[in-house]
Amino acid sequence: MIKTDDSFIIPNNLELVHSGEDYFARLEAILQGAHVEIYILMYLFENDTTGKKIITALKEAALRKVAIYIVLDGLGSLSFPSEQIIQLKETGINIRFFAPLFSTYSFYLGRRLHSKIVVVDAKIALIGGINIANKYQGTTTEKAWLDYAVQLKGEVAKPLKQLCSDIYLKKRKLRDKKLRFIFGMQQDTSIRILQNDWLKGKDQICDSYIHSIRNAKKEIIIVGSYFLPGIRIIQALKKASKNKVAIKLILSGKSDLPLTRRATCFLYEKLLKYNIELYEWDESVLHGKVAVIDGKWSTIGSFNLNNLSSYGSLETNVEINSESFSIMFREHLNEIILQCHNITLESLKAKNSVMTKFINLISYGITRIIEILITYTPYKRFYH
Counting Cα atoms < 13 Å in the Cβ hemisphere of 240 gives: 28
Mean pLDDT, range 266-295, rounded to an integer: 97
pLDDT at 91: 96
pLDDT, tens digit, for every residue of 120-138? 999 999 999 999 999 999 9
**DSSP state for residue 372 in the 8-state scheme:** H
Q: What's the gap between Cα 35 and its chain centre?
A: 28
Q: What's the gap between Cα 269 and its chain centre?
A: 26
Give the dihedral sign, CA 32/36/39/45: positive
Contact 265, 360 (CB under 8 A): yes
- Give the chain's domains with CATH numbers: 2-345 (3.30.870.10)
CA distances to 20, 149, 181, 186 from 189, rounded to whole Å, are 26, 17, 14, 6
Q: Is the pLDDT of residue 111 over 50?
A: yes
Mean pLDDT, range 296-318, rounded to an integer: 94
Mean pLDDT, range 166-192, rounded to an integer: 65
Q: Which of 48-62, 177-191, 193-207 has the lowest mean pLDDT?
A: 177-191
Which pTM does this prediction carry? 0.90
pLDDT at 272: 96
Q: 100: pLDDT confidence band, cut at 50, 70 and 90?
A: low
Of all residues in the chain, the percent with pLDDT exceeding 70 is: 87
Radius of gyration of the chain (CA): 20
Q: Of 48, 47, 11, 17, nearest to 30 (Cα)?
A: 17
Q: Is the pLDDT of residue 101 over 80?
A: no
Q: Of 293, 259, 219, nearest to 366 (Cα)?
A: 259
Q: Is the pLDDT of residue 310 over 60?
A: yes
Q: Which of 187-196, 331-340, 375-384 has the lowest mean pLDDT?
A: 375-384
Distance, CA of 84 to CA of 55 (rounded, Å): 9
Distance, CA of 296 to CA of 355 (rounded, Å): 43
Torsion of CA 255, 328, 301, 269, to 10 degrees: -40
